[in-house]
Amino acid sequence: MMRALSTAETAPTTHPWVIHAQGLQVRAGRHLAVNGLDLTLNTGVHGLLGPNGAGKTTLMRALATVVAPSGGRLTLLGQSVDGRADLRPVRRALGYLPQHFGFYPRFTVREFVAYMAWLKEMPKARIPAAVQRSIDRVGLTAKADARLKTLSGGMLRRAGIAQAIVNDPQVLLLDEPTVGLDPEQRLDFRELLRDLGTDSCVLVSTHLVEDVAAACTDVVLVNEGRLVWQGTTEVLIAQGDQSHAGDSAAERGYSAILRRHRAEAAR
Amino acid sequence: MTWTLLYLRSRRVPLALAAALGGAAVVWALYLAFAEERDVAPTVVVMTVLLMVAVLAPTLAGPDDDLDRTASMRWPWRRSAHLLAALLVVVVVLLVTRSTGARFGPVALVARDAAGLLGLTALCATVVGAARSWFLPLGWTTVAAMYPLTGTWGAAATWQSQPPDNDAATLVAAVLALGGLVAYSIAGPARREVSEDV
Amino acid sequence: MNILGIELRRSAALGAALTTVVVGVGAIYVETGRWSSGWMPLAMTIREYLLLLWPLALAAGAWQGRREHRAKVGELFATTPRPRAQRMLPVLGAMAITLPVAYLLVTGAGIIWIINTAQHLPLLNFTVVTGVGALSLIAAAWLGLGIGRMLPALVTAPALAVAGVLLVFLSAIRLDDRLAAALNPVHGSSLFHPYQTIDNRVSGALAISTAALAVTGLLLFVAGSWRARTAAVVPLVLGFTAAIAVVPRDPDVLNWPVDPVARELVCTDDTPTVCVSRIHANVLEALTPLAREGLTVLAKLPNAPTAVHEDTQTFWLDEVRPRRSDAVTIPVWIDERGKLAHPNAVLPEIVKRLGVSYDMQCQNRDGVVERAAAYWLLGREPQSDVGVVPGFVFEDPEINAEAVMLWQGLRELPDDEALARVTAVRDALLVCADISGILPGRSAR
C-alpha cells in the first residue's frame, strides 16, 4: 500500500544547517534584490552587513517567509521554503523584528507580546511565563503594562525584540534592532545577543559594524544581492589596516573587503 | 500647480474626493432610478451632504502634523482655503443635480448644512484630530435627520433637518461654520494623529 | 493571557458598545411615552432605534477592520504560523459579545422603567424581537469589519455609517412590505397601535437574512484573496433568497399585527363593570372610579349603559364591531410613566356621546348638539375640546359658542322636559337618526 509522505516525515531529523540558501533569488517589486545568493548558517550570532541597497532587508524578508523566493533553493531548519510548502512548523520556530516594526498602539507591552506568542501558536499554558521572561530579557519589566503608544523609540525597539524572542525561536531575524537604543542599552543588547546565540541561529542586519564586532560570532557581507564574504569577526578585523576607511578595526576590515570586492567586480 | 497637487496628495484628497463624488453619485442614481418625484426628500439631501462632509473630513490633517507645523508657510490661510474648497465641492456638486432628474435642494438647505457641518467637523478636528472628526457631526446629524424637533430650541438642536427658512437653524449653522473656520484655521488639527488610534 | 480578553479591552468593540448604550438609552429615554405601556412596545421601540444603532455598529466594525492596515503589522503577522482566519476570530468574538450585551443593557434600562407598571409580557415574542435586534448588531459589526479590511481607508467608516443610515431608512420606507419585513431590522417596529407585535414567522425570516449578512461579513473579514471575497457574497444571496421565500405573504401579518392576548379585555369583578385591554391592565384600578363616575352621570338617562370598556378598535384595523348600548367605549391613554394618562379626560369621554360609541359608518352626528346634551348631563357649561380631549389643539370657537347656546336653551326647560330631549338625542344616536332638530334653538338640517 502506498501513501504520500508528509514533509515532516521526509525531513531529516538533524539538519546540517539551520539556514541554507543555494542560488537564492528574491524579488523586491520588479527588481531582483537578492540574486544568486549562497548562504549557510548555524547556531550562533551572525551579523549581516552591506551597503544600502545590498538586498539585506529583502534577504531578511525571504528568510522570515514574508516573501517567497523566486528562484534557487532555501531551506530553514531542514525544511524547504517555497510558495507551496506548509510553513507553519517553520514559522513556529521563527522570530522576526522587521525594519519597520508595526504594532497596535493601544496594547500594552505585555498584551502585544502575548498576542504575538499566540500568533506563533505557543501552547497556551506557556504564554504568560514566556511573555514575562522575554520582557525581562529586553529590560522592559518596569514598562510591561504601559501602552505601546506611550513608549519612546528605543523602548519600542526593545518591545519589538521581546515579541521576536518570546517563542524561544531557533531562527531569530533582527533587522536593525539597535536603532534608537542609547549606548547603555546597546551594551545590554549585545549581552542579550550573545546569550540568544548559544542555542539559536540569530541573524542581525545592521549598519553598525561596532555592534557586529562586539556581539557576533561571525559576519556575512552582502552586496548587490550576492554573498561577498563570510567569516568570523576576528578574520574580518584582520582584513583591514590603517590604509582603509574606518575608525575601528572592524570598520576598516569591512571597508577593505568591500573595496576588494568592488575592484574584482570591476575587472 | 505642482505644489497644490503635492499638497492634495499628501492629504489623500483624490481618494476622499472620489468617495464623496461617488457616494453622492450613488444616491443620485438611486433616486433617479427608483423615485417618482424629481425633488430628493430633504432627509436624503441632509444625509448626502453629511456623507460628503464626513468623507472629506480625514483630509483636514496630513500624515504628520508636527512636520506640517515646522513648515515656514502660513498655514491659517491654507487651512481656511481647504475648508472653503471643501464647501465649494459639496455645494457645487449638489447644485449640478438641479438640472437633472433628481434634484438635491433647496440650495439654501444644502449651503446651510454643508457650511455648518464642515464647521463642526473642523471644530472637532482641532479637538480630537481629523481621523475622528466625523464622529460627532455624523452622530448628531443622523439623530437630527431621523428625529427632527420643533420649537426654537428644538430647531437649534436639530438644525440640520430644519426647513431652510428656519432662523434658529441658520444661526446655529452660521455659528458652527464661523467657529470651525476660525478655530481650525488658527489652531489646525489636534496633534495626536500618527497611527495612534488603533 | 486570554487573547479574547485583550481584544475585548483594546479593540473598538468596547467603545462601540459604550456608544451603543449611550445612544440607545438616550434615545428611548427622550420619549418614554412611546413605550411606557408595556414590554412589546419597549422591545419594538428599541428595534426602531436600530436606525441609529445599526449604522453605528457598521461604522465601528469598519473602523476596527482597518486596524492591521493602519498599524502596518502585515509584515510581522505574515511570518506567524497561525492561519489568518484564526487570527481574526478574537475580534469577531469581541464584537459579537459587546454589542449584543449593549443591546440588552439598553433593553434592561427600559425594563427598569416599566417593570412595576407593565403586566402583559408575551415572553416568546419579546425574546425573539430583542434577540433579532441584538443579532442584527452583530451582523452590522461583522459586515463593517469585512468591508473595513477590504477597503482599509480612513473614509470607509464614515462613508459606511451614512450609507448604513440611508440603507436602513430608505429600505424601510421604499421597499415592498415583504422585502422590508425579510431584510430590514427596523420593519414593523414603529408603533401604530397599542396591541402591536411582530409575528415570530417574520422575525424568523429576518433572523435568516441577518445571519446570512453576518456570515458574509465574517467571510469578507477572514478572506485573503479577491476570489474568496467574491465567494463571500454567496451566503448573502442564499440567505436573502431564503428569507424572502419564507416570510409570510399576508399583509396583516407583515404590518402591525395585533397581539390578540394584549387586546383581550380584563374587567373588574364587581359592578358596574369597567374593562381595559390586557396590556393596559395596570391602569384598571385608577380608571375604575373615574369610569363609574361617568356611568353615574349617564345613569340619569333611561336604559343607560352599565359598563365602560376600553375602545380596542384601532384605526389600522378595518373590522367594524356591532354598536353596543350596554357599554360605553372610551380610549385609554398611558402616560410616560406607564400610568393612566389624562384622568380628567375620562369623564368627558364617557359622557360626550351620551354613552353611544362612535361608529365610523354613521354620518348623522352633530358635535354641537352632543356637546350641549352631554354638558347638561354633567351640569356644567360646555367647553371646547381643546384642553379636554388629549391631542386636540384647535377648534373653531363657533362650535362651542353654539353648544353653550343650546345648553342654555336646555337649562331654561323644566328638568323633565330637558331630560326627555337629551334622551331623545341618545336614542337617535343609537339608531343613527338625524339629531340636529331635537334640542330647542337649533333647526334641523
- Whole-angstrom distance, CA of residue C154 vs CA of residue C169: 24
- Alpha-carbon distances, residue C157 vs A198, C162, C167, C214 (angstroms): 49, 9, 15, 18
Determine the pLDDT at residue C315: 64
CB contact under 8 A, C87 and A61: no
The answer to whether residues A63 and A173 touch, using CB atoms and an 8 Å cutoff, is yes
Query: For every residue of B116-128, which 3-state class applies, written as one string?
Result: HHHHHHHHHHHHH
The more confidently predicted of residues C409 and C93 is C93
| pLDDT given at position B1 | 60
pLDDT of residue B195: 42
- What mean pLDDT, rounded, does chain B reach? 86
Specify which residues B181 forms β-bridges with.
Answer: none
Query: What is the pLDDT confidence band of residue C359, given thresholds at 50, 70 and 90?
Result: low
CB-count exposure of residue A234 (10 Å: 0-12, 13-18, 19+): middle
Q: What pLDDT is recorded for position B71?
A: 65
The reported pLDDT for the residue numbered C320 is 62
Mean predicted confidence (pLDDT) in C373-402: 86
- For cell 416568546, the residue is C124
Residue of chain C nearest B135, judged by CA positions: C158
Q: What pLDDT does residue C88 have?
A: 94
The Cα-based distances of A171 to A18, A44, A90, A97, A208 in angstroms read 7, 10, 9, 12, 21
Write down the mean pLDDT value for chain A.
Answer: 87
B169 touches chain C (CB under 8 A): no
Would you state the pLDDT for residue C21? 97
C-beta of residue A26 within 8 angstroms of C-beta of residue A67:
yes
Please write the tens of the pLDDT for every residue from A178-201. 888 888 888 888 989 998 998 899
Residue C236 pLDDT:
96
As a whole number of angstroms, the longest Cα–Cα distance in chain B is: 55
**Percent of chain C scoring above 70 in pLDDT:** 96
Q: What are phi and psi of C329, to 5 degrees?
A: -110, 135
Q: Is the dihedral of CA C127, C129, C131, C134 positive or negative?
A: negative
pLDDT at C256: 87
Quickly state the pLDDT bin for C319 (edges 50, 70, 90).
Answer: low
Indicate the pTM of the whole model. 0.90
Task: Please state, for a pLDDT cut of 90, what percent of chain C lies above it.
Answer: 62
Q: Which of residues 166-205 of C touch B (CB under 8 A)?
A: 166, 169-170, 174
pLDDT tens digit sequence for B5-47: 777 777 788 888 999 999 999 989 988 888 778 888 889 999 9
H helix count then E strand count, chain A: 10, 10
- The nearest alpha carbon in chain B to A107 belongs to B198
Dump pLDDT digits (tens) for C242-294.
999 999 999 889 988 999 999 999 999 988 899 999 999 999 999 999 999 99
Give partners of A (≥3 CB pairs < 8 A).
B, C
- Give the pLDDT confidence of A157-181 residue by residue, as tens digits: 999 999 999 999 999 999 988 888 8
Quick one: cell of C33? Answer: 411615552
Strand order in the sheet with A44-49: A94-97, A171-175, A201-205, A44-49, A218-223, A226-232
Cell of C76: 510581522
Set of chain A residues whose Cβ sits within 8 Å of the Cβ of B196: 105, 149
| Confidence at C18, pLDDT banded by 50, 70, 90 | very high
Interchain proximity C80–A103, CB inside 8 Å = no
Cα radius of gyration (chain A):
19
Q: What is the pLDDT of residue B73?
A: 65
Neighbours of C32 (CB within 10 A): 17
Q: Which single residue is written with the C-alpha cell 352632543?
A: C370
Predicted confidence (pLDDT) per residue in B165-185, tens digit: 999 999 999 999 999 999 999
Q: Over range A237-256, report the average pLDDT.
A: 85
Which chain B positions have a beta carbon within 8 Å of C162's beta carbon?
23, 47, 50-51, 54, 138, 142
Helix (H) or strand (E) segment spanning residue B154: helix B152-157
pLDDT at A9: 45
How many CB pairs below 8 A link B and C?
A: 70
Compare all CA atoms of chain B with the CA of C67 and give the residue at the minimum distance. B198
Residues A147-157 have pLDDT tens digits of: 999 998 889 99
Q: Can you give the pLDDT at residue C397?
A: 86
- Mean of pLDDT over chain C: 90
Average pLDDT over residues A34-43: 90
Q: Which three cell numbers stand for residue C435?
A: 339629531
Say if residue B79's pLDDT is above 90.
no
Is residue A13 very low, low, confident or very high in pLDDT (cuts 50, 70, 90)?
Answer: low
Model confidence at B134: pLDDT above 50: yes
The pLDDT of residue B130 is 87
CA distances from A218 to A36, A52, A54 (A): 21, 20, 19
pLDDT digits (tens, 9 = 90+) for C296-309: 999 988 888 899 99
**Chain A CA closest to residue C8:** A107
Burial class (CB in 10 A: 0-12, 13-18, 19+), A243: exposed
User: What is the gyration radius of the CA atoms in chain C, in angstroms?
Assistant: 29
- Residue C28 one-letter amino acid: I
CA separation for the pair B23, B33 (Å, rounded)? 15
| Cβ-based neighbour number of residue C423 at 10 Å | 18
A105 in reach of chain B (CB within 8 A): yes
At residue C429, the pLDDT reads: 86
| H or E segment to which residue A163 belongs | helix A153-165
pLDDT value of residue C67: 93
Instruction: Please indicate if any CB of chain A lies within 8 Å of the CB of C69.
Output: no
pLDDT band at C321 (very low <50, low <70, confident <90, very high): low
Bridge partners, A21 (sequence order) = A39, A74
Contact status, residue C201 vs residue C247, Cβ threshold 8 Å: yes
Q: What is the pLDDT of residue C323?
A: 64
Q: Tell me the mean pLDDT in the region A202-220.
A: 89
How far is residue C249 CA from its own chain's centroid? 22
CA-based Rg of chain B, rounded to a whole angstrom?
A: 17
Lowest mean pLDDT among A56-60, A104-108, C139-143, C384-388: C384-388
Fill in the DSSP letter of residue B148: -
Calpha distance B11→A217 (Å, rounded) = 47
CB contact under 8 A, C158 and B139: no
Cα separation, A178 vs C7, in Å, equals 30
Burial C371-406 (b: 16+ CB within 10 A, else e): bbbbbbbeeeebebbeebbeeeeeeeeeebebbbeb
